[in-house]
Each structure stands twice: as C-alpha cells, then as structure tokens.
Structure 1
C-alpha cells in the first residue's frame, strides 16, 4: 500500500512506499502550502508519523471517502457508485496502536522507503487497493456528482476528523490514576482481590438476598436467576430496567438499584479499566470516525463515548496547564432551523439581541472554573419568549419529539403549536419521515445518505399486501414502516449535526496549531509535537476538551467560539443561525459543568 502527496489543486507531488522520518519532516512542514496526504486509512499511517513528532496538516482518507461516495445519493450515478463491489468496499478500519505498542497490521518497518526502486505496479501489496486509481475515481465521482462542493467539504471534514482522532489517541487525555483509585474506593470500598466483589457490592448482595428471602447462592449478576427470585418473592417486576423498578414498592428495590449503579461503575470504569486504559497518566481512547451510520463517531476501546461524570474528577490538567471545555448549545435544533431555512426558528435561537453576543467572535473570553459565556442563548427559552409554548420543558420535549418522532405525551400536545410557529422546520422532518416510510433514502446537508431498508423490511411490507395477509401482517408492516420513518426523520438532523461537529473540529485543530508554542519551561507531559502547544484531547458529539498552557487559555476559548461560527458558515453560508458554545476553563474536567 502506498501514500500519495498532492499539492494545491490536486496535482500529484509524489507517490512513495514510505520515507525516512527526517525526509518526511522536511516535506510535511517545509513548503508554505503543506501537501495533502492521501492514504488508504489514517490509522495505518498517521500514528507512525506522530510517534516521530510529525503533524500532518491535511489528508484524504480513501477508505472513509469511498464509503461516503458509494452510498451518497448525490454521487449515485457516478462510475464509482455504480461499479460492482470491489476491494475498497467494506474495508474495515485499522485499529490504532497504543503508543509504544505494536505497529498497525501490515505496516512497513519504516514510514517511507524512498531509497528503494519504485514498484512497477501501483498495487505493490497485491491486495487490490490501488490508491492512485482510487483517488482518481473519487475525484471524478465528486466532480461529476449532483453536489460537488458539498461532497468535497464532507470528504475533507471526514478526513480531518480522522487526523484529529489519531492525534487525540496519540496525546491522550490527562488522567490521575491516584484520584481515580480514590473515587473507586469511596464508592466501592478497597480494591478487592481477584475473583471477589468489592466490599460495598458484597454488602448489597446480602441485602438483596435478604429482601428476597433467597438462598446464599443467588447471584444478582445473573438476570434470569434474579428475575426468578423476584417472581418467587412476589415483587412483580417484568424486567430489571431502572424506570420499572422505581415504580415498585418492595424492600429489594433500593439495594438493587444501588447495586446496579455501583456494578456499572465497577465493570465499566473500575480497577481493571484503570489498569488497561490509564497508562502513564493518560487515557488513550480509540475512536472510530464515521462509526455510526449518521456520521457520528464510535469507540472501540475504553468507553470514551460513555465516560461517566463520576470519574471525571480524575481528569486533571498538567501543572501549569488547563482544560478549555466547550459544549455546543442545542446543536440539533439549530441545525434543523438552518437545514429548513426556517428564519423564525433561527431567530428563537438568537435571543432578544439578535444573537450578537451569542455569536461572540475571536475577542470573547471564557469565565473561570465552571463558568459559561455571558452571551450564551438558550434556544428553548427563546421558543418560550416567542410565545410558542409556556415552558422551557415543553419547548425541549416538543423539539426532541419533532426530531426523534415522539407522538405521545407533551410532545404530541405541543407539536401543533411548533408546526404553526416553525412550519418549514417541522415540514422538513415530517417529509424525511414520509420518505423513510416509503423506503427511500434521505441526505444530510453535505451529502451523507441514509441506507435503504434491507430485504427483511421489503419482505414484511410485501407480505402485508398478499391476498391471504392477516391483521398481524399488516400490523407488523405498519410498525416497521413507522420505525424506519423515525430513523430517517432523525438521520437528516443528527447526520448534519455530525457534519457541523466535524467542521468545528477541523477548524479548531487548525486554529490551535496556529496559536504556536509556549516557552520550554511551560511544556506539558504530552508527547511531541504537542508538548508545548494547545491540543484537542477529547471529543463527545457536540463537546470538545482542549488541553492548553494556562497562558493561552483565553485565546483558546476565543478560537473555540470562532471555529464554531466558521463551521456554521461552511455548512449554511450566510443564513442567520447562530451556534453558540458554552465554554469553561478548568483544572479538572469534573468542574466544567455544574
């Protein structure tokens, strides 16, 4: 597998197997316009560059781009999309190596081997992955698509996201293992010996057994056994879901709920997690860019996307450094307003001053620990102020219902008022739902398209129209149709919100690097090339965490807001929608939110 370097305008600058780190540094950092690296998978190549202290400015990830272009409705008629399945289809992502660990599978011993003769074939590994041919096919597909500018931005943002994910895994999230151990000891008791439960969990097991009059062999970790014991004791629980248990009046409920909560901490982020994932004072998460069908990221290790608040006290900045934590306010409703070009809904998100303070530019600064910017605008409060509904809770539940297909309770009650006040926004999600119910695809702002329902969906729909179809067949078909409509209803909003977040990260990544370095005595504990400059360390859908020298914290906060505004312009041009971010500058991640 080879790597391609391209210059501005797409001109091919070099094709090579892998250079020596010294040669690479000169090419990656030297020219005024840095090259765009094109490779099969960012995780196969970029970790090796980072380990040599090299940062790549721009890249084109062929695997990620191929998946987008093969499924996008905008490129459906292109040669790439209509070609039969090939080696680039279904290509699994390469797992990033932990720093100091083994190299990625099939990675060469050196990053480039420019001293060797160029291979005669552009597929030297014989795996069918020809990067030169694939890049040409992708560029042609974008140029001949129904939305070249949209797909070009989506592919660039997705590839930039892959670079950012690799960098976050490289630097790691600062983690105090001693603080984490204190958290676990406070919650669970001292660290148990292998094969034993922590003391507090064991005490709760005894209380559960006593409340159920169960034998000492009852294991609450076995759901079938626990449900049988609860049935025998007359508890009346049909499941172990929290919301159902809370409705019951029985002595077992309180210890069982407490046990479930502590057991989740113990298994998901207990001592075993600490030993595995928080090495050398850093949690190095493994993100999967585009791992969810909507374009959201997934995680294959460490549970980065389910990091509970109970352990965030262990996330402590290096001495002389701080965290800038930024959270996009009501991202999906704002995206919906912009997608639908619903000016009334956009106005509700700008506040009484027209959004001038909420869209604070580069001069804005963050408040102290746990503080938010004074210009933050609550869109749900804006909907109340516009007289659409009476309470913020009604506005929130109603908008979530509109985007996720809520048809009961408060959501159903306020939907007519939302539809009257914001007809374009509500019509967009309703139209997306109807398209899904017909088995059609829907497409995000930049061109990511939803998958079509599979053969099982089609078979169920077909059976409902058979001459001998019964009521059950029709009911299953209707239920399936509504479920797919709920999926497509949310797909356009959540997918476009993911695109906004990618553009936010790409802009922020560039802006942070441009801030430069701090003096050597202020360097943190992160590895090169980020030891002396601010860098992203964590991302969670609509929230970013930046690790920065304290002296640059105010500038980082300003650039974070400016990057959010830039992401909005990239996706929606001059449409008057704002994307305010709540920013906190803190020493511990736990202090970022009340």
Structure 2
C-alpha cells in the first residue's frame, strides 16, 4: 500500500493512494507537524506500506534520528532520473528547493510542492503540470474534481511511464532497487562505520611523523622531498607540481610523459624509490590525514554521505570524505566495537560475470563456475596466467587497445565470442553517437553537443585530415564509455539487488534500534560490510551469500552464471583481505 508523504506549508501530509498512484480519497489525508511525523510513520509502518516521497536523503534521516525505520519507499527524485535518461530529457534538480525559489514549468510533470504553500489542503483546480487531461476524477457537473496532491500526481505519472515502457517489469524492479538503495544509504550514514581515532592517529604518526602544526607538513615528507632533490641533482624540485616534476626528471635525463606511478616504476634511477614513497604518503596526508580525521570521524564513527546513482551508470558516489576511495593504508583504523565483528563480503570478479550473463556466453559462464573466474580461464587454456586473464577482461570491458590486454584480447574473442561481441556492439553504438542501456533499462547519456558538432564537421566535404583524425579519437573515446556503461551499470543493478536483499534479511531477523542489531555499515560497489554482534556472524554470513545468489536470479532470471562472494568476519577491515 503506497502512502505519499509531502509538505503542505507548515504541515506534512500522509496521503493514501492505490497501486496506480490514484488517491483512495482525493480529499482525505492525515495532516501532521514535522515533530509528530516520526510517531505517525512508526504507527503506519506496521501496515508495511511503500512510502512515496520526493527524496529519501531529505525525509529519512530525521526519522532515523527519532529511532524510526521504514522498510520500503519510492524515491521520486531517483526514479525521475531514471525516466529522464530514457526519455532524453534533463532530470529535475529542485526537489529540495524552497517553493518560493522554484519556477513554474508548463511542460513538465513534476512541480511537486510549488502550489501547496498557498493552498495547504491541496485542493487544486488545475493540473500542476499544465496538461489538459491529468486523469483526475470529475464531478457530476463535469467540472474537474479537486486533484490529488502534486506528489501523488507525480507518483501516478511515474508509474504510468514505467508501465508503458517496453520492459516494464525490469524498470519496475530498477525503480524499487534504487529506492531501497537510498534507504540503505541513509541508514549507513546514520549508524556510521566504526572507526578508531587513536589507531588512525597512530598509523599516521608511524609513517609521517608527529602531527605537524597548522600550515606545516609532516617531517617524513620533508625528508623524502630532500632525498629526491639530492638524488636528481638538478636543483630544487616542486614534487607536488606534475609539470615541474616532469621538467626536473627530464633535466636529470629521464624521459617521461606523465608522473603516474606505472610510468615512474619503469625508470631505473635512485630518485624514483623515494619519489614514489613521497607521492604515496602525500596522498595519504592530504586525503586521509589528520584534517580528514578531525572533519569526518566523531564518536568512533565515520559517517560518509553516500550519493546513490551519483554516476551516470548508476554506481554510487559520495559527498565528501572519500568514502568510496578508502585507501588500504587507513583500513586498520576501521575496527569493530567490543563484542562485535565486521563481516566483509566481496563479489568475486563481478563485472566479468555480469558480462557473461548479459551476453549469454555459456563458455564464459562455465569458466566462472568456481569462485575464481580468472583461474577458470587458465584451467580451460584460454590464457596462460591469471594475470593475463584479468588484463584481457579489463581490456574487453574498458576498451584497452595497447599493451598486454590488447595482446590477450584475440584469445578471449575466440573463446568467448558472445561476450566480446556484446561489448564491441556497445562500443560501436557509442562511436555513432547512440545510447545503450543496462540490463534493467538505465540509458546512457548522449554525447555532448560539442562532440556531435565535431563529428558533423569532420564528415562534411572539405574537412581536413586533422579534423577527421580528432573526430575518430572522440568517437573511440565515447565508444569506450558506452562499452563499459552496459557492464558497469548492470553490475550496479546487481549490487543494488544484493544490498537490498541483505538489508531485508537483516531486517527480518531483528527488531529495535538499527545500531543495536546487525546492520549494513559500508558499501563499496561490489563489497558490503556488516557490523554485527559476534553471536550473529554465522547468520550474517548466510544472509550475504543467499542475497548474492538471489540478486543474480532477480536481475537475470534463469542464467548459468554464478555470483559467488567471499566472506570474512574480522575485527579490523584491513584483515578481510
């Protein structure tokens, strides 16, 4: 049973709607205050509704702070982003803006709250979208009856758009998974990832030296900078400036094009080892040093702000704190509470398995029947080593055209023709400026207007060879994006289904405050961390594995591809691998 939650002036309304999004009674709703909302939602939660609201990140955190959890929701903002991609329009961006700051748009369906501040009962007499026939009920006199509140109308419009889609079942599933992910994201921010501030300080001190004063830098960085400068022997070197560093390296007789680690590691010179160490420690200090610790860790918890579907492919991003880029150097500071454990699960070779399922490549599915797909490729004689298997698959999915991955790719194409043909077709679509979709229907964004202009100019009569060459480079680059979009985006869908399945199993097992029971604490694309009481570890391990198998069935239906996960129960995150 859906229940719409929306602001009406100084009050909040709970409006019952049916499964099509139509109001059960277009005049009936429960009005409450912001302060009373958690109590009312907790009472209605016993009915197992699906809460419909503009943005989970706006509505759910205050409920969690009041000790109220909800099982299901429909996030209008996230679903709008999905539909916008399919419909080729820009998504709305004003979901949380004050009504006075919004503008009316007669050609858009989604003006949720703009009329409600001046009409607190929601008895509107015209379609908020400006459409002649909104599907609203009519009175006996033929006059339009009062319309449903705008959020309910938006929900109804979204359901109708999904139902009209060619793969409505898949899109319905994706909308539900996106919304479940938003709930999990808010819950993980609320409970936080257990973090030892003293351990973090100790590991920084061990590798960088004592904490420097404000405006200074660690002693160890100064020592390494001096050592690099002395060994290069070309005068002062600004190690933090890539341009200056390249010039200094060249003056020392080292031909380099970049300062990337892979390129520097190929150089034989006594300055390279301290330089690489300097770069590693400098990244640690700036990204996760004492300033980061002061800002992001409080009361023994790191509380990142996750952004579900923050990337166009549907992968998550984070709003500060670098949650999705926690380096291994700081993971020893992630430590379970006394009497608790961190249960860490990692999906094995997720993206190659996703490609096997997407393409229906049975030979690749057989190679991945075990936990290690790359080892399975070696056993079947596809490649010589596990490293070659990994490099080849990365080249296939990301468009590698040079180096070892390019040399391995022809062997993969012979052994797994369906898989390689699938990503090649996605790449060709991108090179033509077309869009591709994930398995459940997320659509890739179109190339920019500038990209299209350059392609058009290069195809015109009289275009120079330089223009044509630049256009071909642009086309290949966009083809690499669409090649990976279908795989990475579908992997994000599987991960959402996994995340939702684990959350549901943990939910079913316990009642009470979230932080007092086994709960999701961290999510990193294909990895989940559950913080659990020590006596619940076995149950959590089962939930993680069962949900992974279920995610494969939910997303792909009957498929020979397996999605194994490795699970480790540890005290410290760093001990999981």
- TM-score, normalised on structure 2? 0.85
Cα gap change, 1:17 to 1:63, in 2 (>3 Å): farther
Asked whether 1:428 is paired with 2:422, we answer yes
**Length, aligned pairs only:** 524
What secondary structure, in the 3-state scheme, does the structure 1 residue paired with 2:561 have?
coil
Taking the aligned partners of 2:459 and 2:558, their CA distance within structure 1 comes to 48
Structure 2 match to 1:503: 497
Structure 2 match to 1:256: 275
1:6–1:35 CA contact under 8 A, matched in 2 = no
Structure 1 match to 2:198: 178
Query: How far 1:93 sits from its partner (Å)?
Result: 7.7
Asked whether 1:345 is paired with 2:348, we answer no
Structure 1 match to 2:185: 165
Taking the aligned partners of 2:300 and 2:362, their CA distance within structure 1 comes to 48
Structure 2 match to 1:411: 405
What is the root-mean-square deviation of aligned Cα atoms in Å? 2.7
2:466 to 446, 465, 472: 472
Structure 2 match to 1:525: none
Which consecutive residues of structure 2, in runs of 5 or more, have no partner in the other structure?
Answer: 1-5, 8-12, 98-112, 130-148
Pairing 1:264-275 to 2, within 5 Å after superposition = 264-275=283-294
Cα gap change, 1:250 to 1:16, in 2 (>3 Å): farther
User: Per-residue displacement from partner, 1:264-287 (whole Å, max 9, x unpaired)?
Assistant: 111100000010001111000011
Taking the aligned partners of 2:307 and 2:125, their CA distance within structure 1 comes to 28
Taking the aligned partners of 1:224 and 1:400, their CA distance within structure 2 comes to 30
Query: How far 1:26 sits from its partner (Å)?
Result: 5.1
User: Per-residue displacement from partner, 1:474-494 (whole Å, max 9, x unpaired)?
Assistant: 111111111111111111111
User: Per-residue displacement from partner, 1:244-298 (whole Å, max 9, x unpaired)?
Assistant: 2223333332222111111111110000001000111100001111010100001
Cα gap change, 1:572 to 1:239, in 2 (>3 Å): closer
Taking the aligned partners of 2:94 and 2:125, their CA distance within structure 1 comes to 18
Asked whether 1:389 is paired with 2:403, we answer no
What secondary structure, in the 3-state scheme, does the structure 2 residue paired with 1:388 have?
coil
Taking the aligned partners of 1:23 and 1:470, their CA distance within structure 2 comes to 65
Cα gap change, 1:281 to 1:226, in 2 (>3 Å): same
What secondary structure, in the 3-state scheme, does the structure 2 residue paired with 1:164 have?
helix
- TM-score, normalised on structure 1? 0.82
Taking the aligned partners of 1:5 and 1:386, their CA distance within structure 2 comes to 59
1:89 to 71, 89, 92: 92
User: Per-residue displacement from partner, 1:28-82 (whole Å, max 9, x unpaired)?
Assistant: 455654111111111111111000000011111111100101112xxx4xxxx67
User: Per-residue displacement from partner, 1:515-569 (whole Å, max 9, x unpaired)?
Assistant: 115xxxxxxxxxx721321101100000000000111110000011111111111
Which of 1 and 2 has higher RCO (CA within 8 Å, sep 6+)? 1
Structure 2 match to 1:206: 226
Pairing 1:96-245 to 2, within 5 Å after superposition = 118-121=121-124, 130-213=150-233, 219-245=238-264
Taking the aligned partners of 1:7 and 1:253, their CA distance within structure 2 comes to 66
Cα gap change, 1:503 to 1:228, in 2 (>3 Å): same
Query: How far 1:227 sits from its partner (Å)?
Result: 3.9
What secondary structure, in the 3-state scheme, does the structure 2 residue paired with 1:584 have?
strand
Cα gap change, 1:484 to 1:24, in 2 (>3 Å): same
1:9 to 3, 19, 36: 19
Structure 1 match to 2:448: 454
Structure 2 match to 1:327: 346
Structure 2 match to 1:562: 546
